[in-house]
Structures are given as C-alpha cells and as structure tokens.
C-alpha cells in the first residue's frame, strides 16, 4: 500500500506546473563553486541543504523527509541533528533524493524528462557495473575483472557528478525561494504542509505573485474601476502635450 502511494506521488510530480530555476545541465554554470563543493563534500552539502529546506527549523525534521519506511522511527524528535548527520553519511543517495522530493512537493515543481534521463542513466550505469562485477567474479577472467573495475569507477564518477548537480539545483531553487534573485522571500509554511503522501494535489503552495494595486478589496481595484495607463516615461507621466 505504501509503495503504491509513493508511485502515485511520483506520477503526480510529472504533472506539477512549475519548473526548476535551472536544469541539471545548467547547474555548473549557474553556481560553479557550490557544484564543486557538492562534488567533493556531498554529505556536508546534503546536510546543509536539508536543514535549509526545513527553514533551519529542525523540529520539522523526519528521517528521509518521510519518504522511507524508517521515517519517524529513528528517534528524530530527540536528536534531529544527529539523525540528519547519520542519514547524509550512511544513506547519502536517499538524503539527496528526499530533499529533492521535499522541494518539489512544496513548490509544485515537476519532474522533467531531461532530468529523468540523466538520473536514469546514472542508475543504469550502476546496475551494469554491478552485473559486470558479478560476472567477473563468477568467471574469474582477469580481463572481465579489469573491465568491471573501470566500469565501476566510471559509474561512481557519474553518480558523484549527478548528485552534485542535483544538490546545486536544490541550492539555486532555495536561493530563489529566499529572495536572492530580487524577489520577496517566502514565509515559512505551516507544519502540516510538510506532509508528503497525504498532501492534496496540486499543493496550494508556490511563489506568491505580488499584488498589482495598493487598493482595498484584496489588493485589486473594485469592479468598473478604470486601470491607470502605463507610460514608458519617468515617474509614470506622459510627455508634455500628450492628449488627455
């Protein structure tokens, strides 16, 4: 039952409306320094990103963000920092994926085909490397063993690179959330919005638009109230002699 709920949730993410601020292919250009940091020290980046995704409120922390069977059963409420430390070092891949799902569900960000292809290629390469290692161990061929070692090394490099790009993507998205691109920072959502599987679709969260008018009636002019014309002039006034 829980597995089916996870599958349904993954299917829903493909229908979300918003997109990541940068795709996986553009993360190196978007923030080169952080991408290098995430590549060489992935668990540290994962720890900082999860804490930031929770708005630095560790009382919200649940192991693997509530997406795994062990979530809520690891004593997170008593020592959330230590549990998060354990998660990012011993379940690094799950920690990165959980932070990703957390941001997607909170901000209604869809899973794109390009990102799916890159992540799928990473998993396929790991599976092929594992199969080669098993075959080399059974056959005992030195050539196969050498080939399996090379393939395993390549799979690890791809894994570290993709995880670094994913974490940079998460960091850039939270920079957008926190107003580092010139928009208004978002407020901390109420705790019930952090629930994953029972969250209504689509979630009523995202990047709030700015009100257009500083008027009563919720920031919009009343019905029939003529909107003011916009002029491409300083101070919003028309040039002299402009017909009124």
Q: For 109, phi and psi rounded to 5 degrees?
A: -95, 125
Neighbours of 228 (CB within 10 A): 9
For residue 140, the model assigns a pLDDT of 80
Beta bridge mates, 18: 109
C-beta separation of 136 from 148 below 8 A: yes
For residue 215, the model assigns a pLDDT of 46
C-beta separation of 97 from 106 below 8 A: no
Residue 135 lies in a domain: no
Q: Which of 91, 12, 10, 101 is nearest to 47 (CA)?
A: 91
User: Which tokens in the block code for residue 15?
Assistant: 């229908």
Residue 46 lies in a domain: yes
What's the CA gap between 155 and 132, in Å, rounded?
12
For residue 180, the model assigns a pLDDT of 83
User: Which tokens in the block code for residue 83?
Assistant: 């549990």
Q: Which of 199, 177, 197 is nearest to 188 (CA)?
A: 177
Residue 95 lies in a domain: yes
Residue 205 lies in a domain: no
Instruction: Report, as ranges of residue numbers, the positions in the chain whose pLDDT lies below 50.
Output: 1, 183-184, 192-239, 242-244
pLDDT, tens only, 68-78: 777 777 778 88
C-beta separation of 106 from 199 below 8 A: no
Residue 78 lies in a domain: yes
Residue 157 lies in a domain: no
For residue 244, the model assigns a pLDDT of 46
End-to-end CA distance of the chain: 68
Residue 225 lies in a domain: no
For residue 188, the model assigns a pLDDT of 56
For residue 25, the model assigns a pLDDT of 87
Residue 129 lies in a domain: no
Which domain, by its residues, includes 64? 2-112+165-194
Q: How many domains does the chain have?
A: 1
Q: How far is CA 243 from CA 90, 115, 238, 239, 240, in A?
A: 72, 54, 9, 9, 9
pLDDT, tens only, 204-239: 444 444 444 444 444 444 444 444 444 444 444 444
């Amino acid at each position: 039952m829980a597995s089916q709920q996870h599958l349904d949730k993954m299917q829903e993410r493909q229908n979300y409306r918003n997109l990541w601020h940068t795709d996986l292919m553009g993360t190196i250009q978007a923030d080169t320094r952080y991408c290098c940091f995430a590549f060489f020290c992935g668990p540290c980046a994962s720890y900082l990103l999860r804490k930031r995704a929770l708005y630095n409120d560790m009382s919200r922390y649940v192991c693997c963000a509530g997406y795994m069977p062990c979530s809520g059963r690891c004593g997170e409420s008593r020592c959330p920092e230590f549990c998060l430390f354990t998660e990012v070092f011993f379940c690094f891949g799950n920690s990165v994926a959980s932070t990703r799902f957390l941001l997607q569900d909170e901000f209604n960000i869809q899973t794109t085909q390009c990102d799916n292809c890159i992540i799928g290629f990473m998993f396929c390469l790991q599976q092929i490397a594992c199969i080669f290692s098993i075959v080399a161990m059974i056959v005992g061929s030195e050539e196969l063993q050498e080939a399996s070692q090379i393939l395993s090394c390549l799979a690890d490099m791809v894994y570290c690179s993709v995880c670094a790009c994913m974490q940079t993507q998460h960091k850039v998205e939270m920079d957008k959330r926190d107003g580092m691109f010139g928009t208004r920072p978002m407020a901390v959502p109420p705790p019930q919005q952090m629930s994953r599987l029972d969250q209504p679709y689509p979630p009523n969260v995202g990047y709030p638009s700015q009100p257009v008018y500083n008027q009563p009636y919720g920031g919009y002019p009343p019905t029939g109230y003529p909107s003011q014309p916009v002029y491409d002039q300083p101070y919003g006034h028309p040039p002299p002699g402009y017909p009124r």
